[in-house]
Chain A
Amino acid sequence: MFLRFFLILTGSLLAGIARSQELENTRISMQLKQASLKEAIQIIEALTPFKFAASAEDIEDGSGITLDIKNQPLSKVLPILLKGRGLQYQQIKQTIILKKDPALKTTSSLILPVVARTAEKYTISGTVKSQKTGETIIGATLRIANTGTTSNEYGFYSIVLAPGNYHLEVSSVGMKYKSIDVSLTGNTVLNISLEEDSKDLQEVTIRATTAGRSLRTPQMGMERLSMPEIKDIPVLLGEKDILKTIQLLPGIKSAGDGNSGFYVRGGGADQNLILLDEATVYNPSHLLGFFSTFNSDAIKNIVVYKAGMPAQYGGRLSSVVDVRMNEGNNQDYGASGGIGLISSRLNIEGPIQKDRSSFLLSGRRTYADLFLKLSKDSNVNRSRLYFYDLNAKANYILGNKDRLYLSGYFGRDVLGQSNIAGINWGNTTATARWNHLFNSRLFSNTSLIYSNYDFKITNKEAGNEFNIISQIKDWNLKEELQWYAGSKNTLNIGFNAIHHTIRPGEISASKDAGVNSMILPRRYSLENALYATDTWKATDRLTLTYGVRASAFSILGQGDYYNIDASGKIIDTLHYGSGQVVKTYFNIEPRLAAGYQLNTTTAVKASYVRNTQNLHLVSNSTSSSPTDRWVANTNIIRPEISDQVSIGYYKNLQEGRYELTVESYYKTMQHQIDYRDGANVYTNQPIETQLLFGKGRAYGIEWLLRKKTGRLTGWISYTLSKTERKIDGINNDQWYNARQDRTHDIAVVGIYQLNKKWTLSADWVFYTGDAITFPSGKYMVDGDVYFLYTKRNAWRMPSYHRLDLGATCQLKKRKKFSSEINFSLYNAYGRENAYQITFRQSKDDPDRTEALQTSLFRFIPSISYNFKF
């Protein structure tokens, strides 16, 4: 009897809880303009399982309702709708009954701040971080009342609002959604900790709110990826690689099969500004471009700008890739790592002082040479072929207002025959940053950055010993102020000064080497920039970003500079002393963007951006080579300039489950550089004598349909584009297709969570073959056949397509230890994609010539094991 009563009681209690949770948990988005309450109710009935019961006069009369609600629980929405009508509601199961409230007089109340009543405004600010690790979260979306913001590169946010009671919603990819009630009666510091989104299936399917693309900001041409989003996408040899994953996005094209190099909207591979914790990475690839320098264990977040680059970025024409490293867990010690087919990784992090400081050390090394050691051939087993990366970071919270970060990267490729010859190359970066909060609205970051790329060739053959060294080295000072000036304006102001040293090549040779020791003159330059930009919420729907970056590039002595004639011959030589300014190039780079929100789910945006580039990579090979040379502006090599206008359409479909983005762009490029025909790439002659200059243009349209929630996530992207060059002295001075001109570019990415244990993934890519120069004829010189060329890049490589499959198995979780096994198959149906096509006299019939296609990767399986404790 007692037991039965207890069961009934708990049963009814549970039902009650479920009911109240339903109103709480049912979230809707709606937009009304002078609508009646009846219309509002009809919309809610259509969007939710709830039905309303009310007398007609109660809901037909009364003033029109205008509101714009996004993803609010019904329990919040109903009071807004009923406010001032003297109505109250009661929920019985699926029915909501509206009745007159006899106790209530029809007066307005201050339940929710719809209109600011006083001029006085307060700031709510703080840092968004992960509860588990203490890592700050970049780009978390914060929504409050009718406004919102995203956390900056250091997790900081600041919102200016009128006093009142608010409901703050915070979301970020891979994190659990959080909502906080805030009573704003003065400036408030609110640090927000988000829980990690577990792989629990139920939560995955229920999760309704994720960080969708912001419709409000005018920022366009931007893609933000965090590691959890991309970790299941299959990749070559199981090496997670952010630079390869971004190539699956529209407008970003792979530089070749398995290559981490990429082209953005018609730009060259050297026109991407690739930053690691703000330091320029001059050669972001390992092993001829097949792997990027970014060890995914150490990476927190990556942002790619294809257009509308914010004014704090400058120096490259076509894109900015801003990679940020993890800071290290300041809560608990932990280690993670992985063992793969070609490399192993280990990552160690932990607090130095809990909650206040932390460190991170992350290393990766490949072991292709360990396989070589298995060879019986002593020449093979003594060969070296490997690369490694080391990332280190430490950060200190020095108080409520100051935080210090130190981070560094060191990576090296080594390739050689043990005692005879070798080449090694790599990047080194170091960044010291100081965050300071002047007050809750003024955030400052000061960075001192060192960046270095060098390669060293050694030859130790007896009687022929020499070394060749080449280097580019930067010292960079940056200061940035983010001023959250009010509820309508956010200003970014800053400067940036970089000192570049380029050592084009230095040969040191033994006495009998047969080669002369030689130092090509070093080049010095100073790159300064000053910028200011304001993001202005002009109306509830219209937001504008307008700013300018002023850049000045000064070529510094000491050194010789030249005047050359049209054929590349030196006419005269100009000598400059140490510290003397050879020439300064000034450029004004406007950065303008506008975003207009059509309704709660749709926005249109437009932007114009000018970029300049003062350092140029001259390369004449199809794949990236460690010996490609960076050259700075000279009196002859002028800054490259690009102007890009773009427009875009953004729509969230099906309650934000799908996201559609369409962007179109037109870009012109000035002072583009190419080699002369017959140019000598390795010469100590002034490089200008080997170069030609011209212009470029690129235009296209990009579609991206993305699904961010549910068991199945992923995207479909399609790019239709055209890229051309016109260089005086090439192709009879006519426009020709740039090598990276590809008409169609399609990527389909899918990740499916089968159950708690298994995650399956696949991606398929298709693109039009590169524009390429094939021979039109042939002729004989001294008994051998050579090929005749008539038109530059007038042919196409065969179309490229490829399917990759992946599967991740989550192994049994223990309290502190978790691990997974990842299987992948690259090029699953074994398409023979052309890596290169060469021409030769036929092997079988010397009387004929033939085309030979080389393909690299077919059916490449891999397995890797990853752990974390």
Chain B
Amino acid sequence: MKFAIYIGLILLFSSCQKVISIDLDSTSKQYVIVGTLTDQPGVCQVSITQTKNFNDNNQFPGVSGATVTLENNGVVTPLPETSAGIYQSSALTGTPGNTYHLSVTIDGHVYTASSTMPQPVALDSIYVSTESFSNNKYMTVVYHDPAGIANYYHYVQYVNGKKEKTIFADNDEFTDGQTVKSRLSFNNDNNDNSRDIHTGDSVRIDMFCIDPDVYKYWYSLNDGATGANQSASPSNPVSNITGTSVQGYFSAQTLQSKIIRVP
């Protein structure tokens, strides 16, 4: 709906944009912990980086020397550091219904998080459509939401292997028990042609079933911290990691992927 309003606004008034320089103050660094575990055999990975000042570059080097463990049903698995700031183990595969507890110790600070892997919901299909207004192509994800239980979804779109930065997250508050066709339309706000979907492109969609706290994280990250939206009061996302001055999330999630070649 917001989209239609923006179209109206743009049509009516020719707005103009320019890059400006603002003196933003510096702030003390915070740790950023991102941990994921899926139901697919592969990798359980935790990455640790730090926040930077606005005017610094976008290189976020990893933080080494942390102790990272994952606990499930009393079994504690250490995640060794495999490269700077990356802690992972290929021995771990998550099981839906299980709750996983992450513990990270860095420089005397302890950060913990828990996440329960939900039951997977089958990704039925994905297809390409053309936006009637702008003629842009967009993807639609189709699945049948199980009735009577709360479900949360997170999708990641790759066009020719390049990840789309728009956050796509859904819940079934209004769609419980329905066959849901979720549109992954996005606003190409920096006019980067490689983000748009073109005929012949290879598009991959990863669908994650996530727990409510992780959904809250994606929802609030999208609402408050992308720097792009109209929110009257930008804010840091609601993280499921406990500890002082920390950003990021930990999610035990199911993963399904589909790839299509755009006709």
Contact = CB atoms under 8 A, between A and B. Distances in A.
A776 interface: yes
Contacts of B30: 777, 779, 788
A781 B248 contact: yes
Contacts of A288: 5, 8-9
B227 A786 contact: yes
B220 A677 contact: yes
Contacts of B75: none
Interface in A830-848: 832, 834-843, 846-848
Contacts of A513: 178
B230 A836 contact: yes
Contacts of B56: 778
Residue among A288, A780, A841 with the highest chain B CB neighbour number at 10 A: A780
Residue among B25, B54, B223, B229 with the highest chain A CB neighbour number at 10 A: B54
A781 B27 contact: no
A852 B235 CA distance: 18
Interface string B18-50: 111110111101101010000000000000011
Interface size bucket, B side? 35 or more
B51 A788 contact: yes
B53 interface: yes
B192 interface: yes
A78 interface: no
Contacts of A627: 1
B232 interface: yes
B58 A678 contact: no
Nearest to A385: B8
A420 interface: yes
A846 B58 contact: yes
B12 interface: yes
B190 A843 contact: yes
Contacts of A423: 1, 4-5
B20 A779 contact: no
A835 B180 CA distance: 37
B149 interface: no
Residue among A516, A773, A834 with the highest chain B CB neighbour number at 10 A: A516
Contacts of B4: 415-417, 421-423
Contact of A856 (B1, B15, B24, B49): B15
Interface stretch (B103-111, B115-123, B168-176, B253-261): B168-176
Contact of B226 (A787, A836, A851): A787
Contacts of A307: none
A373 to B, nearest CB: 12
Contacts of A832: 16, 18
B179 interface: yes
B232 A780 contact: no
A779 B224 contact: no
A843 B175 CA distance: 37
A527 B60 CA distance: 57
Contact of B16 (A782, A849, A855): A855
A213 B192 CA distance: 59
A843 B156 CA distance: 21
Contacts of B21: 851
Contact of B192 (A415, A515, A843, A854): A843
Interface in A428-475: 457, 463-464
A202 interface: no
B219 interface: yes
A779 B5 contact: no
A20 interface: no
A678 B220 contact: yes
Interface residues of A, number: 88
Interface in A734-772: 739
Nearest to B164: A784
B91 interface: no
Contacts of A869: none
A457 B216 contact: no
Contacts of B18: 832, 852-853, 855
Interface stretch (A57-65, A314-322, A615-623): A615-623
A620 B231 contact: yes
A197 B249 CA distance: 71
A773 B235 contact: yes
A834 B20 CA distance: 10
A848 to B, nearest CB: 6
B225 interface: yes
Given A514-B178, A678-B216, A777-B52, A372 B230 contact: no
B32 A780 contact: yes
A105 to B, nearest CB: 80
A380 B8 CA distance: 10
B20 A851 contact: yes
B179 A514 contact: yes
A620 B233 contact: yes
Contacts of A780: 32, 49, 58, 60
A76 B150 CA distance: 86
A775 B234 contact: yes
B174 A684 contact: yes
A850 interface: yes
Contacts of A781: 32, 34, 221, 247-249
A232 to B, nearest CB: 25
A464 B174 CA distance: 13
A92 interface: no
Nearest to B32: A779
A416 B5 CA distance: 8
A776 B192 CA distance: 26
Given A677-B224, A773-B235, A775-B227, A852 B178 contact: no
Nearest to B178: A514
A47 B228 CA distance: 64
A159 to B, nearest CB: 50
Contacts of B179: 512, 514
Given A786-B247, A841-B190, 18 more contacts: A417-B4, A421-B4, A464-B181, A678-B235, A684-B174, A739-B232, A776-B25, A778-B58, A786-B226, A786-B237, A787-B234, A788-B27, A839-B54, A839-B227, A850-B19, A851-B22, A855-B15, A856-B15
7 contacts: A380-B133, A415-B5, A515-B175, A678-B235, A777-B54, A778-B56, A852-B19
Q: Which 9 pairs across A and B sit closest by C-beta, in order of nearness?
A: A678-B220, A839-B227, A678-B238, A776-B27, A677-B235, A779-B51, A780-B60, A784-B165, A777-B51
Interface of A: 287-288, 368, 372, 379-380, 383, 385, 415-417, 420-423, 457, 463-464, 507, 512-516, 518, 619-623, 625, 627, 674-675, 677-678, 680, 683-685, 730, 739, 773-790, 792-793, 795, 798, 832, 834-843, 846-858
